Amino acid sequence: MVRAAPMTLEERRAALVDATLPLLYQHGRGVTTRLIAEAAGVAEGTIFRAFGSKDELVDAAIAKAFEPGQLVTRLDDIDMSWPLEQRLVTLVSILQQRLLAVFGLMRTCGMVAPPAVDEAAHEQWRRRVVARLIEVVGPDEARLSVSPGRLLHLLRLLTFSASHREIAEDQLLTPEEIVDVVLHGVLKKDCP
């Protein structure tokens, strides 16, 4: 029988973070090291060889949840041959799913603000996300009465507020509703 090569400390830490994150959505900061160890398939002592405390592991998992890497990957999958409205609904759906997950994690973990981040790295990610969002709208720029950047700003603001249970008074908007309001407004077409 061939044994797998042992994990490096960084690999073990990453595996523990990956195992912990889904548990946080369910248990918040009250997740036990026993649950984490079971999810990771390791002994509880392994957690403390990789992290100084359970709180350190939980903080690392929360920080990972706020990294935008998967968001960018999902945005890259938007098919540019689709009509503008379909591209925007898909874009808003991706943004809304991320926001709902982040808001849910914050609620479960008792957070009132996102964790502190490396500002330089965050700014690089933000620029990459904004550039991709503008690319999604770009082919239809001539049809717009505002710049692609302004359209995306409006979409992002409405998506944020329409995805936050407290702000939206528990009446979340669907991606289709958000896009329809931003692209077409709320006036009936036969009204002056």
Q: What are the DSSP calls for the chain, one per residue?
A: -PPPPPPPHHHHHHHHHHHHHHHHHHHGGG--HHHHHHHHTS-HHHHHHHSSSHHHHHHHHHHHHT--HHHHHHHHTS-TTS-HHHHHHHHHHHHHHHHHHHHHHHHHTT-SSPPP--HHHHHHHHHHHHHHHHHHHGGGGGG-SS-HHHHHHHHHHHHHHHH-TTTTTT-PPPHHHHHHHHHH-SS-TT--
* Spatial separation of the C-alpha atoms in residues 175 and 91, rounded to whole Å: 8
The predicted pLDDT at position 119 comes to 87
pLDDT bin (cut points 50, 70, 90) of residue 71 is confident
Tokens 């649950």, located at residue: 35
pLDDT bin (cut points 50, 70, 90) of residue 67 is confident
Tokens 């991606």, located at residue: 175
Tokens 């709320």, located at residue: 186
pLDDT tens string 103-159 = 999 999 999 998 888 888 888 888 888 899 999 998 999 999 899 999 999 999 999
Contact status, residue 152 vs residue 134, Cβ threshold 8 Å: yes
Q: What is the DSSP string of 128-150?
A: HHHHHHHHHHGGGGGG-SS-HHH
Contact partners, residue 140, CB within 8 Å, separation at least 6:
84
Average pLDDT, integer, range 171-180 = 95
pLDDT bin (cut points 50, 70, 90) of residue 4 is low
Amino acid of residue 133: L
User: The pTM is what?
Assistant: 0.85
